[in-house]
Amino acid sequence: MPARATVATIVMLTVLVGGCARTGGEAFGFGSHRSGTLTVNDRWESCGEHRPEDALGVDGAQEALNMPLLDDSFQPVSAVVCATGPKQRPSGGSDLVEVESRADDLSRLLPTLRLPDAQSTAEACTADLPAVPWLVLLDAEGRWVRPGVPIDECGKPRHEFRDAFSQMKMTEVAGEVVRELESDAAVSAGCSQTYGDMTWTYGSFDNVREVNVESLPAATEVRRCVYFVPEKERGNDKAAGDFRSGGLMDDGAWAAIRAELVASTTAPACTTPASVFAVLHLTSGGSVSVERDGCKRALVEPIDGGGTLRVAGPELLGLVFSS
């Protein structure tokens, strides 16, 4: 289950950058393009009003590593942090929320924002980049700036800034749901909110090997999760469905489903994507994915690996989707 979000955990997440470690600040190229002076904006209103929509990810605001650093021309008295991350609802589900928090004690933070960039002298740097908060400083008149964040010899936020920010006391002043991440129904059913249409994915492979369908357990608890595939997703290489219904199946249903799978034949090639599919998660291991429409195939994936595509006949479809 997603952990309850806090500003500190949201904005100080680490962004993984591919590739090997490189030398000095050149690893990311930050700090080399700082120019100009701080832009002083009129009165602050809210994160929703001033934070760009494309900055709603949990990776912070890396552009601050190239923005003008704070100088004595602007005298902050408070700070606002805009952060986005998951938040669990008391009812079980979770949302992606944008949280606006405020801090009035800047005694530790401000000196770190006025530090210069360190010289790029490191012989080697790791390829991870700590996230940068979307930070705003306000003066006594309510005007605001977004300060640059000084970097260390590896082009990452200086540790002095990271330490001061992590210890800054902030109070949440506003929160807004951006979108739902996980519905209460999906949580109650024990299903993921979204799931890849693996039957369609397997159908695009030329080297799918046959497996012994009879290796499926004769008796096991089965959790069924049913998904609807949005039209824009159908036929994509990584098509995914949205949760519609699910839960544990009645005792005895699996025996009938297994019998239909054992009696089924190998599915022929097909290029008609499904709009609805179900995933049967077997507690003892393995899974079965079934297309309700489209090619009407079943993907059998035993616990010992591999997968095979079988024809999903009317009897099998009735057993999987009737309730």
β partners of residue 53? none
Q: Are 136 and 79 in contact (CB under 8 A)?
A: yes
Q: How many CB atoms lie within 10 A of CB 155?
A: 23
Q: Are 33 and 65 in contact (CB under 8 A)?
A: no
Q: Are 129 and 62 in contact (CB under 8 A)?
A: yes
Whole-angstrom CA distances from 224 to 78, 247, 286, 322 are 51, 6, 13, 12
Q: Give residue-wise pLDDT tens across range 98-144.
A: 899 999 999 999 999 999 999 887 778 887 878 899 999 999 999 99
How deeply is 196 buried, as exposed, middle or buried, from its count of CB atoms within 10 A (0-12, 13-18, 19+)?
middle
β partners of residue 182? 94
Q: What are the extents of the domains in the chain? A: 7-179, 183-321
C-alpha 143: how far from its chain's center? 34
How deeply is 63 buried, as exposed, middle or buried, from its count of CB atoms within 10 A (0-12, 13-18, 19+)?
middle
How would you classify residue 113: left for phi > 0, otherwise alpha for psi between -120 and 50, otherwise beta?
A: alpha
pLDDT tens, N- to C-terminus, the chain (323 residues): 333 344 444 444 433 343 334 445 444 555 556 777 889 999 999 998 888 776 555 445 788 999 999 999 999 999 999 998 899 999 999 999 989 999 999 999 999 999 999 988 777 888 787 889 999 999 999 999 999 999 999 989 999 999 999 999 999 999 889 889 999 999 999 999 999 999 999 888 765 566 788 889 988 999 999 999 999 999 998 899 999 999 999 888 999 999 999 999 999 999 999 999 999 999 988 899 999 999 999 999 988 777 899 999 999 999 999 86
Per the structure block, which two tokens stand in for 285? 């291991």
**Separation between Cα atoms, residue 242 and residue 234, nearest integer Å:** 12
CB within 8 Å of 226: residues ≥ 6 apart: 243, 244, 245, 246, 276, 277, 278, 321
**Separation between Cα atoms, residue 220 and residue 223, nearest integer Å:** 10
Residue-wise burial string across 103-131, b where 16 or more C-beta atoms lie within 10 A, e elsewhere? beebeebeebbebebbebebeebeeebbb
Q: Give residue-wise pLDDT tens across range 190-225.
A: 999 999 999 999 888 765 566 788 889 988 999 999
**Separation between Cα atoms, residue 120 and residue 152, nearest integer Å:** 8
How deeply is 255 buried, as exposed, middle or buried, from its count of CB atoms within 10 A (0-12, 13-18, 19+)?
exposed
